[in-house]
Structure 1
Amino acid sequence: MQIKSSLDNLLTPTAIALGNFDGIHRGHLEVIKPVLELDDPDCYKTVVTFDPHPQEFFTGQQRQLITPQPEKAMILEQLGIQQLVLLPFDRELVKLSPQEFVTQILNNRLQSKFVSVGEDFRFGNQRAGAAADLVQLTADVDITTKIAPLEQNGESRISSSRIRAALLAADLQLTKTLLGRYYSIVGTVINGQEIGRSIGFPTANLKYPPEKFLPRQGVYCVRVDTATQQQLPGVMNIGKRPTVNGVNTTIEVHLLDWDGNLYEQQLTIYLHQFLRSEQKFPDLTALTNQIQADCDTARVFFQIQSSQNI
């Protein structure tokens, strides 16, 4: 998949799904699906999103993302998208009227033949344009636009804010339902203090994007994809390690019944079950006993999960 951070040297003409797509949840998938299903071999299947996120641009504060750009690109490539365009969200773009956005961006630069957006999509200066306006404006330049209805779960729509709330509550089942997949964290293994190794539970310390939205701090049952192996069961801790006077938030993963060197490898960690909140223990012996109990609980969980073919 091609990743473009400007409107230069694009693969054109395009069929595009247009939106922020933070999380690429089930609602987003309904917007992307028409592009994937479009029967036009001459159009490059493209996702166009905004960089930075519009809320980050207007507030000046870094927004925590469910899917930072590298993770978003990985998921889109797996779906079959051929090109990801990170449309620079800057003052020039903000000034464009809805009609100018269609003419200058969608028609002239992206050379779009087909556009898919969600029902709540807004565009143009001061968000003046709605999805229905996009249908009319694109028709004037021979672009077909499809509006995807909002995807519901229960009585509420699926949204990135609902997913964030579920993650902060460590409700991983709801998170999976809204996303359509297990929540994941992608990062690179770096050197740590090796405290885990000294007490018999070696851990992989993960360097993750600073803009990554993290769930509730605590201990989780996880499955891990490494560079060479997939779906390895493990136990992950997200937190500040109060027992050893930690200060910064860290992510550490212990793979069950596995031995090897993971340094500098990229790991994809899928969160399956929340075990407990992080807590401070009186000493390393108490911590070691609790980690052993966590690993035993995780083994039982994965045995049950495997028997149920989840």
Structure 2
Amino acid sequence: MLNLSKNGCSVWVASSSVGLLTPTAIALGKFDGVHLGHQRVIQPVLHTDDQLSVTSSPQSKEKQEYIYSTVVTFDPHPQEFFTGQPRTLLTPLDEKVQQLRSLGVEQLVLLPFDKELSALTPEEFVQKILVQQLRCQQISIGQDFCFGEKRSGTAKDLQLIAAKHNIPVTIVPLQTYTGNSPTESSCVSTNSTQDARISTSLIRQTLEQGDIENANLLLGRPYTLLGVVVQGQQLGRTIGFPTANLQLPKEKFLPRQGVYAVRVFILSETSDIVSSESLGVMNIGNRPTVNGTYSSAEVHLFDWSGDLYGKKLAVELVKFLRPEQKFASLEALKTQIQLDCVIAKEILNSEWEQ
């Protein structure tokens, strides 16, 4: 799906100095999670039907120069750079590309966040990065966007500086979550998930609590674990519940340890097209009953028989069922898994009927 060296059928991925497609209309930010708030920031730079009727593809440049809808973000995450500590992500690069592609983004630019970039003044950032390297024609940012040395530049500052280069800047109001839908807000509230700014940190918090329903609403889609099936200890099959051991990116943010009702999509080998799908239960944790010493993500698929080794799975979390616990015996664990499966099937089938 992702190719850093040539333009495939997905999203062109480039650094700020190598392989850029220009000129650009850019959405600028960190975009970890590509949640509902991020999607509102990205929307202004996507091509509309009217725009595409003038120049329908990057190869059609007779009437005007084609402007590439582009998301610009930072690698590594600025927090990781400043703290020196690895940071887990809601959407590692592969997932981020997949989500951006589904929105209609044509290019993802990863600005190398290093000492040199972090030391640029707001004016230097606009001149050197946005104007000279990206040949930016339009910018969209969130209301709380900060940039430049010591985060000294605000969204309004960017608007003023960009105006000197005749670049329009759209400042998107913060999105708050109320009930079952996002709303625009000019203030930040963190009293509860029901009345709070949609943010990556809030989604991480809800996932840590096992509040999958609210996390999924804030994301605008189910939280997904994307990985390849590798060989595990094969203990599940000895008690009648074979599991697929999912190898996840090391930087993937994991939710609360425990058991989840899930939807599982088996992806084709050559692309991310779904070849088949199933329902199931997933355990995320250390498997204390069998004295596990490391965290794992294992999924049991209902009504499935076949070899999944080497297959790429996308596992959507639907509901948290229970915390991980240590059982006195494998037989007690088997009894609990049977109950987990019954509950999960009820939840997943009722959701499907809705």
- The verdict on a shared fold, with TM-score over 0.5 as the criterion, is yes
Instruction: Report the CA distance between 1:231 and its aligned residue.
Output: 4.0
Write out the 4+ residue segments of structure 1 that deviate beyond 4 Å after TM superposition: none
- Give the corresponding residue for 1:182: 222
- Give the corresponding residue for 2:99: 75
Matches within 5 A, 1:259-274: 259-274=305-320
1:9 counterpart SS class: coil
Aligned equivalents of 1:9, 1:115: Cα separation in 2: 20
Instruction: Report the CA distance between 1:264 and its aligned residue.
Output: 1.1
Aligned equivalents of 1:230, 1:158: Cα separation in 2: 33
1:286 counterpart SS class: helix
- Counterpart selection for 1:112 from 119, 129, 136: 136
Give the partner amino acid of 1:286.
Answer: A
Give the partner amino acid of 1:54.
Answer: P
- Give the corresponding residue for 2:182: none
- Give the corresponding residue for 2:344: 298
Aligned equivalents of 1:67, 1:235: Cα separation in 2: 22
1:133 counterpart SS class: helix
Deviates most, 69-78 or 221-230: 221-230
- Give the corresponding residue for 1:17: 27
Instruction: Report the CA distance between 1:237 and its aligned residue.
Output: 0.2
- Give the corresponding residue for 1:8: 18
Instruction: Report the CA distance between 1:6 and its aligned residue.
Output: 4.0
Aligned equivalents of 1:305, 1:125: Cα separation in 2: 48
Deviates most, 29-38 or 94-103: 29-38
- Counterpart selection for 2:148 from 124, 127, 131: 124
Deviates most, 257-266 or 98-107: 257-266
Matches within 5 A, 1:180-219: 180-219=220-259
**TM-score, structure 2 as length reference:** 0.85
1:188 counterpart SS class: strand
- Give the corresponding residue for 2:323: 277
Instruction: Report the CA distance between 1:210 and its aligned residue.
Output: 1.2
2:293 counterpart SS class: coil
Q: 1:151 to 1:231 in 2, by over 3 A?
A: farther
- Give the corresponding residue for 2:262: 222
Deviations 1:12-35 (A, max 9, x none): 000111000011111101100111
Aligned equivalents of 1:177, 1:200: Cα separation in 2: 34
2:292 counterpart SS class: coil
Q: RMSD across aligned C-alpha pairs, in angstroms?
A: 1.2
Give the partner amino acid of 2:112.
Answer: P
Structure 2, unpaired ranges of 5+: 1-10, 56-65, 179-194, 269-274
Aligned equivalents of 2:347, 2:107: Cα separation in 1: 39
Query: What percentage of residue pairs aligned between the two structures are identical?
Result: 53
Aligned equivalents of 1:231, 1:75: Cα separation in 2: 19
State yes or no: 1:164 paired with 2:204: yes
Aligned equivalents of 1:43, 1:222: Cα separation in 2: 40
State yes or no: 1:32 paired with 2:42: yes
Q: 1:93 to 1:157 in 2, by over 3 A?
A: same
**TM-score, structure 1 as length reference:** 0.97
Structure 1, unpaired ranges of 5+: none
Aligned equivalents of 1:166, 1:134: Cα separation in 2: 32
Matches within 5 A, 1:31-50: 31-37=41-47, 39=51, 41=55, 42-50=66-74
- Counterpart selection for 2:120 from 96, 120, 130: 96
Aligned equivalents of 1:106, 1:56: Cα separation in 2: 23
Deviations 1:19-75 (A, max 9, x none): 000111111011001111453741111100000000000000011111111111111
Contact conserved, 2:26 with 2:139, CA < 8 A, in 1?
yes
Deviates most, 246-255 or 135-144: 135-144
Deviations 1:195-218 (A, max 9, x none): 011211111101101111111000
